[in-house]
Structure 1
């Protein structure tokens, strides 16, 4: 393969990474904006339902600005699409709730966009001095020649001693220029902004190792003992077997030193309190630098939690799965041996028997879902007899108050209403003018029964009947309206009916 062909293959491989696929799409500005607004710099986990709602709300606000390249779909559909693109990952938090976090690819894309959005650093004295200092320190720590390394250390000690003596003697202090401070803060922000994606990359690597080992257990193509030995060997070298693990182990070795962390916090505070920093840094930049220590602590905690989760999950899988399976296999083999001895006792030495590889499937039309429970057949508690002498005899008024309708009294009231002794236009008005003892709810059935016997009909209109129970409580019922007939008209009809009957009677 020629040099240009190899370079093309490497470039194509880089463009196939999820980081560049995210930046290469037409809707990348909108997606990056949503990621930055939702997750912030610390990549804080967000519950799934909340992120779905936030995505829809952010998209609605972006459409109001007139943006045309806006992703279509609900918040849930877009999050599923971004998961397939390896920009979002869904996991369980400590409380067992589903949350979304950005992958290392998405965080790297956000870092690139954030770096391009800042004022780009140009060639300056600070940049050259930083390069020279880094190369000098790197050479002093990595030079294999003992004499050369000692010479470099002596030169550095002499330079620092001379600078210290000059300041102690009261020489003029050279103040940092605004350009120098701007360049320094820019490089510092660039280094710090890369930390979240680095931590996320280590977390993803641990999750990948966990998936690989679990897949080896489930495949069962090797004896369980070999798989366990391999797991223990990989667990011992978990932090040194991969590039990400070695990088994290080195960073963890430095950052778990409380003195170094305290020194980092003091140095950041001194830089932020510099007189020129107020003119250079915005409030958001100052907040990011001020939260560097917390950012590092949170990243370390997430990685350590993921590593502990890997170990705990695999340990639980090994203990529970293998122990249960060994017991089941032992019981099965014992049953097979017992049946084999029984069969051999009744057959000859050359007898054969076809044994299916898998047991036959039982055909069951219906499987009972509920079985007999003796508690359901338990008889109720017996009723305790009451002494008749202790029981109170109810009065006649109490019995009548709890009995059925008083038809004789209601019939008399209807006759009074028809004879204008109880003036009313409808059956409901007759009920309202009755005394409370005749306005019980059961009396409604009595009045309707008497009206039906007399052939009265109801209207389509409903009227309200207010009843009074025997205990004094009140209740309202809606009853179809039934007008009372005209007494004079009924008397005329009765006379006509009698005359017609006499005329039809034979002589």
Structure 2
């Protein structure tokens, strides 16, 4: 292949990357604007439903301004289209909710557009000094010649010592010009804006490794033990086997140094407090520089979370794969082999038997929802009475005294009075002749009930019934006068007659 053909192939591969396909499409300005407005500089994960709504609202606002090159479709359709283009990725956050994040390709496109929107840096003293300083430091750390490395360090020490002595002696301090500060802030912002895409690239690499290992498990082309051994080997060298992993390990090692992080924060604060920074930096750029430490820490946290999720997912899959699948399959094959040997013992060498490819479904109308539990038949613990809370004992006579009328004894007394052939009296006189146990207030109702059952007629006049309560107190009731019938008169004592309603009036007496 000629040199020009090889170069063309490399350029075509670059244009096939999702970063350039995003920038090359006709609606690229609208899509880049939506990504910048929704995710910001930190690539903060956004819930799926919220991003759908934001995309629709932003597109509606663009259409109202008269823009023609606006994508058509709902927010959900557009997000799915961008996922197919490898510009969005949908995943689960630690709380289990679906969220969208930008891929490293989309973040590279946003970074390129952001750099183009800034004032382009020209050739300047700051840029040449930065290049010279970077090359010098790189050579001091990588030069294999011991003498050359010591010479470089001695020259740097002498230069720094001379500058320190000059400032201590009170020499004039050379201030930075506005062009120098502007060039420095531009390069610093360019370096910081590349961090989110770098972190996203490491996250995607972890996800890719997880997918490769899970695919090896599901494919079953190799024994499970071999796949597990490979996973353990890759897990041990996960952060050193890839370029992204090595870069992340280096950044993580540096940022674990609290003193280094504190120095970075102090240096950024001093640069932002510089008198010339107000005229060079806008509010958005100052906020971007001020949030550099938080940006780096958030990126590290997302990468570590993704790495922990990969390890947890693979561990769960390995455990479930071994216990729930391999063992059940082994038991099933053993049962099949046992049944086959039993069948071969009773059949000839040319016997055949049709076996369905899949077992038939069992027709079960209802499964029991509850099974026998021996704990249900255990007697409850015996209740131990509490002597302090025990109710006082009550005798049978006390219970009877609190009960209803004693119709049996009252009927006997009523029959005895009628059979004695005494001069006709009244029901009140009969009640007054009874013993105190039969003269409770409720016994009046008992006598009236017996009289009503025999059809006796009461008069409109009233008479006094003196009742005795079980506690010895007395109470009088005004009851309609009811004379006892004379057994010698026609009709006898049980002759029916019309009765008047009976109303009781009571008067309590001690």
Q: Shift in Å at residue 326 of structure 1? A: 2.8
Alignment of 1:4-153 (within 5 A): 4-153=4-153
What residue is the counterpart of 2:248 in the other structure?
A: 248
Per the alignment, residue 358 of structure 1 pairs with 357
Query: How many Å separate the matches in 2 of 1:339 and 1:89?
Result: 51
Q: 2:490 is matched with which residue? A: none
Shift, 1:369, TM fit = 5.8
Structure 1 match to 2:313: 313
Q: Does 1:330 align with 2:330?
A: yes
For residues 335 and 219 of structure 1, what CA distance do their matches in structure 2 show? 25
**1:405-484 pair list within 5 angstroms:** none
Change (3 A) 1:341 1:11: closer
Partner of 2:177: 177
C-alpha distance in structure 1 between counterparts of 2:230 and 2:322, whole Å: 16
Structure label with greater radius of gyration: 2
**How far apart in 1 are the matches of 2:41 and 2:340?**
68
Is the aligned partner of 1:2 residue 2:2? yes
Report the equivalent of 2:219: 219
Task: Quote the offset at 1:361 in angstroms.
Answer: 4.2
Return structure 1 stretches of 4+ with deviation > 6 angstroms.
372-375
| Inter-CA distance 15–368: structure 2 relative to 1 (3 Å threshold) | same
Deviation at 1:344, TM superposition (A): 4.5
Aligned-residue Cα RMSD (Å) equals 2.1
In 1, the alpha carbon distance for the partners of 2:36 and 2:120 equals 20
Cα-to-partner distance string for 1:445-482 (whole Å, 9 max, x where unaligned): xxxxxxxxxxxxxxxxxxxxxxxxxxxxxxxxxxxxxx
**Residue-by-residue CA offset, 1:378-417 (whole Å, 9 max, x unaligned):** xxxxxxxxxx99xxxxxxxxxxxxxxxxxxxxxxxxxxxx
CA distance in 2, matches of 1:34, 1:372: 56
Could you tell me how far 1:334 is from its partner in structure 2?
Answer: 3.3
Instruction: State the match for 2:200 in structure 1.
Output: 200
Give the whole-Å Cα distance in 2 for the aligned partners of 1:346 and 1:177.
Answer: 102
Which residue does 1:301 correspond to in 2? 301
Q: 2: CA distance between counterparts of 1:107 and 1:224?
A: 38
Q: 1:346: how far off? A: 3.1
Shift of 1:354: 4.2
Task: State how far apart, in whole Å, the 2-side matches of 1:369 and 1:151 are.
Answer: 90
| Partner residue in 2 for 1:339 | 339
Cα deviation, residue 100, structure 1: 0.4
Alignment-derived partner of residue 186 in structure 2? 186
**What secondary structure, in the 3-state scheme, does the structure 1 residue paired with 2:214 have?**
helix
Q: CA deviation at 1:177?
A: 0.6
1:232-269 Cα offsets, whole Å, 9 max, x none, are: 11111111111111111111111111111111111101
Structure 1: tracts of 5 or more residues without a match: 376-387, 390-507
SS of residue matched to 1:192: helix
1:210-231 Cα offsets, whole Å, 9 max, x none, are 0000000000000111111111
**Relative to structure 1, is the Cα distance of residues 231 and 66 closer, same or farther in structure 2, using a 3 angstrom cutoff?**
same
- Give 1:280's aligned residue: 280
CA-CA distance at 1:293 after TM superposition: 0.1
Provide the rounded CA distance (Å) in 2 between the counterparts of 1:144 and 1:164.
30
Determine the C-alpha separation between the residues in 2 that align with 1:46 and 1:352. 66
Q: Identify unmatched segments of 5+ residues in structure 2.
A: 372-403, 406-510
> How many matched pairs?
374
